């Protein structure tokens, strides 16, 4: 299926950064007025063929990049056909390395804004590749260069790449890193669903790590992004209609006394039961919730069921993310606005709902990586709780 290159917002090496700087300073129109384009020659196009044939090192399938048609254009010696096909093949490779092969509308339960790729910048990169005779180097500059991606590529090239289950996990995780935002920010929260882990990332390093509980297989936590704008201490819980229908509604109707003892209050509006749970340690949100508005209504919060953090596999929620040691996380996020742990504890003791704004919004990304590089250089291969990897590997091929 034909694909068109569409805008890189964060090229990864300095030459690409120079081009981006030119586009920022002078506009893409000025870039278009740079010296006339270079043209593909058979030798440089053959280098592109060789790159495509070894693109499996990125977990991508060479058959996606029209190598056979490019070889035929080289063989015939038709300069027009060669120019057209080499440019098309280069663009397809650049797009997949920069933003991922699987198009956004085919990414399962994925709600993170897609990256983009500017065709003007791709054209300038083609000129650079031809002029410098550095097709491989220029194309490599489009791929992520974060340490995780580099480690996963190394593992794919090693013995693990020959083991089917590990190869699928590596290919899927490499693709998801290509989806990951180019401009994630210097400070953000990262939740990896199969790892059952939340991390606070600052300048590329993890400065806090917490176990989490994620959605059941039948109520999967999606991959998504949101902005955390504040911390809510002692939150009340507006019970979603789905949970009222599933369990809480039955409790309210059949055992109202028990429901009241658990902090539930309720009313009927237009014939529909509405239920709220009062703040307190027994609240299903616990005593801390991150204020992170999103259309999925999926949040990061505390839980009264703390014994579940001792389980190895932690798919127990209705989709939200429950974090261990929530008040430590709250302290970390609120330290720069003057909130120490003692102040947080004092508010918790009052059981009054209190929202504290962050000094600036904090991006949160919920991802799904089953191959995770470790600090000792090894790769942790995690269970695939939602069975997403095989389907993704199929789409890559």
- Please count the other Cβ atoms lying within 10 Å of the Cβ belonging to residue 204: 9
Domains of the chain: which residue ranges?
Answer: 14-143, 187-236+287-397, 237-278
Do the beta carbons of residue 45 and residue 82 sit within 8 Å? Answer: yes
SS3 call for 95: helix
Q: How far is CA 67 from CA 3, 48, 103, 131, in A?
A: 15, 9, 21, 21
Of the candidates 282, 284, 293, 306, which has an alpha carbon nearest to the alpha carbon of residue 355?
A: 293
- Please count the other Cβ atoms lying within 10 Å of the Cβ belonging to residue 155: 23
What is the tens place of the pLDDT at every residue in 356-393? 999 999 999 999 999 999 999 999 999 999 999 999 99
Task: List the catalytic residue out of 58, 210, 320, 331.
Answer: 320
Of the candidates 16, 12, 18, 223, which has an alpha carbon nearest to the alpha carbon of residue 114?
A: 223
What is the tens place of the pLDDT at every residue in 214-271? 999 999 999 999 999 999 999 999 998 989 998 998 998 999 999 898 989 999 988 8
Q: Is 133 a catalytic residue?
A: no
What is the tens place of the pLDDT at every residue in 49-93? 999 999 999 999 999 999 999 999 999 999 999 999 999 999 999
Q: How far apart are CA 68 and CA 90, in angstroms?
A: 13
* Residue 356: its H or E element: strand 354-367
Q: Looking at the predicted structure, is the pLDDT value of residue 168 above 60?
A: yes
Q: How far apart are CA 396 and CA 208, in angstroms?
A: 33
Q: How far apart are CA 2 and CA 35, in angstroms?
A: 29
Q: Which residues have CB under 8 Å from 324's CB, separation 6+?
A: 210, 211, 212, 306, 309
Do the beta carbons of residue 347 and residue 354 sit within 8 Å? Answer: yes
- Please count the other Cβ atoms lying within 10 Å of the Cβ belonging to residue 134: 16
SS3 call for 359: strand
Q: How far is CA 2 from CA 89, 91, 92, 280, 389, in A?
A: 11, 11, 9, 56, 24
Sequential DSSP letters for 37-70: PP---HHHHHHHHHHHHTGGGGT--GGGGTHHHH
Q: How far is CA 90 from CA 32, 129, 191, 208, 255, in A?
A: 18, 10, 34, 40, 66
Superfamily of domain 187-236+287-397: L,D-transpeptidase catalytic domain-like (2.40.440.10)
- Distance, C-alpha 256 to centroid of its chain: 42
Q: Looking at the predicted structure, is the pLDDT value of residue 19 above 80?
A: no
Q: Which residues have CB under 8 Å from 361's CB, separation 6+?
A: 227, 228, 229
What is the tens place of the pLDDT at every residue in 317-337? 999 999 999 999 999 999 999
Tokens read off for 133: 């005779």
Q: Between these two residues, 73 and 15, which has the higher pLDDT value? A: 73
Q: Is 210 a catalytic residue?
A: no
Q: Which residues have CB under 8 Å from 50's CB, separation 6+?
A: 136
Task: List the catalytic residue out of 58, 301, 318, 331.
Answer: 301
SS3 call for 320: coil
DSSP state of 191: E
Looking at residue 36, its pLDDT comes to 53
């Amino acid at each position: 299926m034909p694909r068109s290159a569409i805008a890189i917002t964060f090229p990864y090496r300095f030459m690409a950064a120079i081009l981006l700087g030119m586009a920022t300073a002078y506009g893409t129109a000025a870039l278009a007025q740079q010296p006339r384009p270079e043209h593909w020659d058979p030798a440089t196009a053959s280098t592109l063929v060789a790159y495509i044939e070894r693109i499996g090192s990125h977990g991508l399938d060479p058959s996606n990049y029209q190598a056979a048609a490019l070889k035929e254009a080289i063989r015939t010696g038709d300069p027009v056909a060669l120019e057209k096909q080499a440019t098309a093949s280069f663009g397809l490779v650049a797009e997949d390395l920069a933003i991922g092969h699987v198009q956004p509308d085919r990414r399962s339960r994925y709600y993170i804004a897609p990256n983009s790729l500017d065709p003007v910048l791709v054209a300038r990169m083609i000129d650079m590749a031809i002029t410098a005779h550095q097709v491989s180097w220029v194309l490599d500059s489009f791929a992520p260069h974060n340490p995780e991606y580099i480690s996963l590529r190394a593992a794919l090239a090693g013995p693990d790449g020959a083991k089917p289950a590990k190869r699928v996990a590596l290919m899927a995780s490499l693709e998801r890193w290509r989806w990951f935002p180019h401009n994630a920010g210097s400070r953000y929260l990262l939740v990896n669903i199969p790892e059952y882990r939340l991390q606070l990332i600052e300048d590329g390093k993890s400065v806090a790590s917490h176990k989490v509980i994620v959605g059941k297989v039948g109520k999967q936590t999606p991959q998504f992004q949101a902005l955390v704008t504040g911390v809510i201490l002692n939150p009340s819980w507006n019970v979603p209609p789905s949970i009222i229908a599933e369990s809480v509604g039955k409790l309210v109707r059949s055992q109202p006394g028990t429901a009241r003892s658990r902090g539930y209050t309720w009313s009927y509006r237009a014939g529909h039961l509405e239920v709220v749970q009062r703040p307190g340690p027994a609240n299903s949100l616990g005593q801390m919730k991150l204020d992170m508005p999103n259309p999925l209504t999926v949040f990061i919060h505390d839980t009264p069921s703390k014994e579940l953090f001792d389980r190895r596999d932690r798919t127990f929620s209705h989709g939200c993310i429950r974090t261990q040691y929530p008040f430590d996380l709250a302290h970390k996020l609120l330290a720069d606005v003057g909130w120490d742990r003692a102040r947080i504890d004092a508010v918790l003791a009052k059981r009054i709902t209190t929202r504290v704004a962050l000094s600036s919004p904090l991006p949160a990304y919920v991802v799904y990586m089953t191959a995770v590089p470790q600090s000792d250089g090894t790769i942790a291969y995690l269970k695939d709780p939602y069975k997403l990897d095989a389907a993704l590997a199929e789409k890559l091929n």
